[in-house]
Amino acid sequence: MNYLNVRLVKSAVAGVLAGWLLAGCSSGYSLAGVEGGRVAITDVYDRKPDAEALNILKPYQQKVDSIMSPIIGHSAKNLTAYRPESPLSNLMADVLRQAAVRAIGKPADVAVMNMGGIRNAMPEGEITFGTVYEIAPFENALCVLTMDGATLKELFGQIASVHGEGISGAALKIDGEGNLLEAKVNGRQIDAKKTYTVATIDYLAEGNDKMEAFRRASSKIFPKDALLRNLLLDYVKQCEQKGQFVTSQVEGRIKVSASN
């Protein structure tokens, strides 16, 4: 037996002995349960700042501020995200749908953006890099899928079940119980056998956030250098170059009808 094998055997024996010793020293206690809660991060923690900690963080804070503070555009009004439809979720879905041009040479038929992926509002007035990072902090990237009409309608049913997500290019009618009553793409009824293109983020393309229908897409394209955050940054910059304010509104893309 060589030196390495001897060491391995000794280590294994030592591990077994340690396990026996720990078991023998057991206090008899066992985990009865786990409780969790939220700790609100408010200005209460700033009332007695730690001077030493602030000095350590200062150069890093200055670096971050220099990156996040530049103004890249302006918003016409405060844009927020909420179900079933909202100005900001509409905007994010529109950005994804148009970005599909880089993958298929034209906008996608439909785009889907989950409310959970939109982490902050876009305030009225100046838009900075920091504003966009707060809205889209995750490393989500564009994915363009193809699916038949039957699968697309199933996807819309899953969106209805959670009472709405961000959509573009489609119009849904749902009831208060989360049932899909009607779905149209570009003003037309969905053809079950027709192939449709759908732009979304890679996280949803994997079937996450209760959108399992994405797993049955017939194809998926992941364009390079297409992070959602960067797509939104580009859109804001383009609006600024044109002298336009970023804006969006509720358009009736998802209408809720009274349940029978």
- The number of distinct structural domains making up the chain is 1
Question: What digits encode the pLDDT tens for the residues 97-140?
Answer: 999 998 999 999 999 999 999 999 999 999 999 999 999 999 99
- Helix, strand, coil percentages, rounded to 5, for the chain: 40, 20, 35
pLDDT recorded at residue 45: 76
CA angle 124, 99, 126 (to 5 degrees): 15
- Domain of 131 in residue numbering reads as 65-247
User: Residue 26 falls within a domain, yes or no?
Assistant: no
Q: What CATH number should be reported for the domain holding residue 149?
A: 3.90.780.10
Query: For 156-213, what is each residue's pLDDT tens digit?
Result: 999 999 999 999 999 999 999 999 999 999 999 999 999 999 999 999 999 999 999 9
pLDDT digits (tens, 9 = 90+) for 1-52: 443 343 333 444 445 444 544 555 556 778 888 887 777 777 787 788 888 9
* Residue 152 maps to a domain: yes
